[in-house]
Structure 1
Amino acid sequence: MQHDPPGGDTLGTPLERIAEALGARLTHSHDEGISDVVIAEPGDALVGMPGVLVLAVGAREEEAPALIAAAGTAGASCVAVRAGADGGLPPAVRDAAAAAGTPVLGVPAGVRWDTVEAEARRELIRGGAGQQGDLYALAQTVATLTHGLVSIEDTAHRVIAYAGPGEEADELRRRSVLGRTCPEPYLAMLRDWGVYQRVRKGDEVVEVAAVPEKDIRRRMVAGINAGARPLGTIWVQEGARPLAPDAEGALRGAARIAGAQLIDHYYRGDPAARLRSREELAHGLLTGRFNTAALAEHLGIPADSGASVVAFDLRDTAARADGTWRDARLAEAAVLVSVHAAAHRRNALVAQACGQIYAMLPEPAGPTGPTGATGSAGPASTTAAAADTAATAAEPALVRWAEHLVAALRQHTRTPVQACVAGTAARLEEIPEVKLRGHRGLGILAAHPERPVGAYSGLVSSMLVRETVELMAARGGVRHPGLTALVAQDAEHGTELARSLRLYLDAFGDVGPVAEILNVHPNTLRYRVRKAAAVAGLDLDDPEHRLAAMLQLRLPARAEESAGPAF
């Protein structure tokens, strides 16, 4: 998965941004966006192509002018052709571009066509609105996860989104993408094999064998369904390398997400209205600003269902410097999380908040559900206890799922992603409280980059200490004057008495490991501890003195300075 340099997607027109990302030359540009990307070969009939970027794959220098003329007549926004050895465009190509009034993108010899298509797709997703851009983003994510070529079709077998390296496409895919529909002879074969009948029955992912004599490679397909109503199909073709081992799960999760998007597209003739409400729905559930009963009705689950929450942070410090770049990275990662979450739990929702990504995994209430042994609400204390028990039982499986997903995110985003399994809410309305656990847990994990995933149960002690220290820093008030003086002395003389004492107390007096961390002799550490205690006036045999030191020495230096000598 490729990425622009930070801030790169904020400059220029869409075509100029594509050219800059590829190191390509553009004859001229215009302000129109890109609505689609189509692969074309010399001799193809090009009609009805407003807003389309045409990739002239395989067109030789002498064939390119005719293809450019045809694309211009069809209203294409741009034609991408292979540049010459010097990186420039031949005069005949430039003349054809000027005559057609169509910009031409000269693709350098070292840039693969699938890279051009991927960059154009990212621009389409970035600038696109509504269902089409979301489906292309989903197709690109599935192509990345499965190592294959993905296409999404409606019930009329029309290709409405696709992604993957075009150079690895077989004859069937090339004809489907160029013609925007699956060829009838192959449709007849699929009907005879019972493929469509099987994918319309539920969640089954059907494998379709290769037909080498017809240049048709192995495929997998899943039905996009809304209950008993078929909405379309999502396909993945095996390319130059075998499909990923978990390709079936990725396809199943993507089919569930695509179903919701296609319903949005057809909902009462207004594709934008319902899509916005769905986004608001997930974010409102996460933050407590949406009616949970209405959400439950929308998802078709009981209103007293519980839900597990897992929080993710990309830990991409470079991206945080640019808001637009950060948002693009988060959106890209959120689609990947959505695919995995939908494969794991049918009604999964994914939302962004606080610069992080949250997966909400609803689970029905019942005899073994989060509301306890009877599934009834009961007293608040009983419900809370039952929820804690359910969360404890579910935690190991959620941790394993989160570890698998973090590994995928790290591989595809190339950032040090971390996740916190926040736990299980007894009811949907309690999700915001569990979300807050996840946010705080990610804050704890930030200090431990070697840990990809942490669970709330294992982080709660650290959270308690951090919250206490934050409260002390915010409110000021009581300070141990000796400890304040100790910190001030270190700042003045460049010594590390306070840090040495804190680490010593954290290690429960075990000198060896702390001396190794500080790179000093154990006797030097013992001397520092004695001196620190003397300067601060502490009795280290007194547990309250030790606790006071452990808390106050965790205060940020600025909080200590602002507190001054107050005590």
Structure 2
Amino acid sequence: MDTRTLGELLDTLGEPALRLLTAPAGLTTPVTEVLLYDAHAPFPDRAPGALLLAVGVRADAAAALVDEAAAARMVGLVVRGGDGSSSGQGPSSGQGPSSGQGPSSGHVLASEQGPSSPQGLADAADRARERGLALLTVDEDAAWHHVHLLLAGAVGARPSPAGGAALGDLFSLAGAVATAVGGATVIEDPRQRILAHSTIPGQPVDEPRRQGILGRQVPGSPENTEQYRVLFASQGPVRLPALSAEELPRLAVAVRAGGETLGSLWVVDDGTLAPDAEEALAQGASTAALLLLRARAAQELSRHMTGDLLRRLLDGTAEPATAAERLGLAPGTPVRVAAFALEGAAAGAPDGEQAALRLLDLVRLQCEARYGRHACVLVDGVVYALLPGAYGRAGERQRRLAEDIVRRAGQALRVPVRAGLGDVVPEVAEVRGSREDADLVLRVLGPEETVAAMEEVRARAVLLRLSELLGERRELAAGAWRDIMAYDAGHGTDYARTLVCWLDAGCDMARAARLLAVHPNTCRYRLRQARAQLGIDLDDPDERLVLWLQLRTLAGLRGANA
């Protein structure tokens, strides 16, 4: 099985991070993903195996959400508040009917919309039990984005071919080290992000460590920075004092391989650590180094394979159904392609290739933060990302994501970056067309534009494609426009520009004169002369249309800027 069960999720996180109120379908139910509830977005019709975080919903108003989640075949709902106890009864695990007793009077839900009554959580638990839905709680002061990171990370820690095996083993290692050393243990990467933590009953965890686990990130402070400096300067385990009254001391060791620092192990020291704690921690660091190297290699392999799959989708050589399955996209999922590129001279600079690779890393990082496992690839200096579910509000969010990536990449790389969003296509089989759209958008972006979607620049894109098509075919490039351009060149007249301004103005003489900055009578005279000298029929709408298109696309003339 490639997914975590509800029971494994609870075992991994433990209290107080996550508490179970009821699980009528049992604890062996698989959890495939963690979703954030958005009241302004359409509720998914089907999301089997999903765990839904009830953002902004009070417990006493959660009945409708419980019904929707059950109808979508979700595993459970997570609300905020309460201490997880019930009147002398444990949570129902699906082994029999509930005792009928809800949470104790200590249960209070605090949410974005205000606290609920104690009865609210009990009623929500009863409703969830009736609908076969698990109901869980997190602390009242927990930030939803931290809870999402914590749960999504735990779900993703299940062994999988894409490298999850190594990350999943890190949780087992943290538990083993905590048992051997005698204190609660976390494993961190070099950026102080918490990769895994132990859940051994009875081992104390202070508030700073608890907050770090909830946010998957060690809170930053000058004192913390100094402790990391001491730790990474040491060749073995070091004992570090408590930084505040609410914190316990630490025993820590750096995790290294071949001189490279891969992370660190930290143990809460409440004064009861094992006599050989330092030796046990050093042994744990050696094992952690192997697991982190394996995870890195597996992750890079997974990214390479996913990128290669997207490359073949973009050029039309991948089998769509198989590709969609490997990318984790349900059949019929709408998608669009986003293209990111360094601007002009930056792409051709001596270090342009290196900058493009850094751009790929930046795009992948932002997309993975938003969508989890994600497909990005660098092709001919352009970074392409496949964005799922792009209709309505999702499309607006994707545009904001592109704007954010362009801003961040420009700051990090110190060169301008542009982005184009292709049209939304109804399924993966049509990705190649969306990629062509995104490329076109990049080509037609104006000097002051950095991000645009195809629907915003469609007219420019169509004219660009028309100019290419007209220029490729002799019969389409021939016509009166060539005679007009030649006559202007030989006689010093301005008939072509006058015609374009008149046609751009919808054949309104006064507006055309304003575009030309001449008197309307001058404009009329030029048009009469053009008719007489060149024999063009401006009364024929078809001839006007073809002449306008050829002058705009092939001659490159354009109204006031012609």
More helix by share: 1
State the TM-score, normalized to the length of structure 2.
Answer: 0.46
Which structure has the larger Rg over C-alpha atoms? Answer: 2
| TM-score, scaled to structure 1 | 0.45
